[in-house]
Amino acid sequence: MIKNRILLFITIVFANSCSSSINDISSNERVKLVDIGGSVAQAFQKDLFRHLSEAIGDGGAPNAISVCNLEALEITKAAQRGFPQSLEIKRVSFKFRNAKNAPDKYEAEALNYLATPQKGDAYPINTVQKINFGKETVFRFYKPMRMAEMCLQCHGSDKQISDVVAEKLTELYPNDLAVDYKRGDFRGAIRIQISKEDLLK
Ligand code: HEC
């Protein structure tokens, strides 16, 4: 009995220390976050585009498969050098190729918001969150990504993806969901996360 109570106690303490919640963000925090997040996300998108185009130019889409990967990009390395230590870049998508890019519950909320047209039919250009994970507070900035023509060689229909590319993709990602996109489709978001200490210093 006592043993059971102790177990219950441990379970409750553990569950609480892992609990998380979303908080209101002040306008000062928002301005700083949009400033850092916006510039990192934009640099990332440019970097991705440039590396993909170069690799496709060099040897076609099969040659570029390893490039559409966060770790392959300069900005990821730059983010580790020039930017605040806690800064983390992730790509999130509901229809993902690599399961590590699947959204957690806050990322899913952000994706739903970004994918929904607002008043006047315009889509949001970004969104931000302040989240407590236990004792730690982090800020997240999200920038939506849409599909360009060039992306469809690896994320489009059967007809747009060559046999060689399809074969490689099936081998590397047997549970691939990131196909059948069309030009202009909402693809997901770039998510920049930064600790409270780093944002407010
Ligand atoms: C040459 C093939 C290729 C092209 C072209 C390509 N991608 Fe990808 N894409 C991939 C591969 C492979 C992955 C999985 C990377 C990984 O393992 O993290 C991926 C992953 C992604 C992800 C992460 C989410 C997920 O599905 O796992 C996003 C977002 C993405 N691509 C967007 C784009 C956009 C936008 C373009 C056009 C600018 C593009 N891709 C062009 C091959 C490609």
What tens digit of pLDDT does each residue of 6-47 get? 555 554 444 444 688 999 999 999 999 999 999 989 988 888
CA nearest ligand 1 atom 9, residue: 68
State mean pLDDT over 132-161.
Answer: 96
**Predicted pLDDT of residue 3:** 60
Residue 18 domain flag: no
| Torsion angle in degrees (nearest 10) through CA of 9, 10, 12, 13 | 110
In a domain, 71, yes or no: yes
The pLDDT of 148-173, averaged and rounded, is 96
Contact 37, 129 (CB under 8 A): no
% of the chain at pLDDT higher than 70:
87
Q: Is residue 147 part of a domain?
A: yes
Q: Looking at the 3D structure of the chain, how many domains does it have?
A: 1
Domain that holds residue 159: 23-200
Residue 130 pLDDT greater than 60, yes or no: yes
Of 42, 68, 114, 157, the residue with max ligand 1 atoms within 8 A of its CB, to mutate for a pocket test, comes to 68
In a domain, 3, yes or no: no
> Do residues 200 and 29 touch, judged by C-beta distance below 8 A?
yes
* pLDDT band per the 50, 70, 90 thresholds, residue 68: confident
Average pLDDT over residues 118-138: 93
Give the residue, out of 47, 97, 161, with the most ligand 1 atoms within 8 A of its beta carbon, to mutate for a pocket test.
97
In a domain, residue 1? The reply is no
Identify how many contiguous H helices and E strands the chain contains and give both numbers: 7, 5
Residue 165: which of 92, 46, 54, 68 has the closest Cα? 68
DSSP 126: -
Does residue 85 fall inside a structural domain? yes
pLDDT at residue 70 in the model: 76
pLDDT at 69: 82
Query: Which residue's CA lies nearest to atom 24 of ligand 1?
Result: 96
Q: Whose Cα sits closest to atom 33 in ligand 1? A: 151
145 lines ligand 1 (CB under 6 A): yes
The stretch 106-133 carries a mean pLDDT of: 95
Contacts of 64 (CB under 8 A, 6+ apart): 52, 55, 56, 154
Taking 50 as the threshold, does the pLDDT of residue 148 lie above it?
yes
Residue with CA at minimum distance from ligand 1 atom 12: 65
Give 1's pLDDT tier (boundaries 50, 70, 90): low
The predicted structure's pLDDT at residue 176: 97
Q: Which atom of ligand 1 is nearest to the CA of 64?
A: 1
Say if residues 177 and 125 touch (Cβ distance below 8 Å). Answer: no
69 CA distance to ligand 1 middle (Å): 7
Burial class (CB in 10 A: 0-12, 13-18, 19+), 189: buried
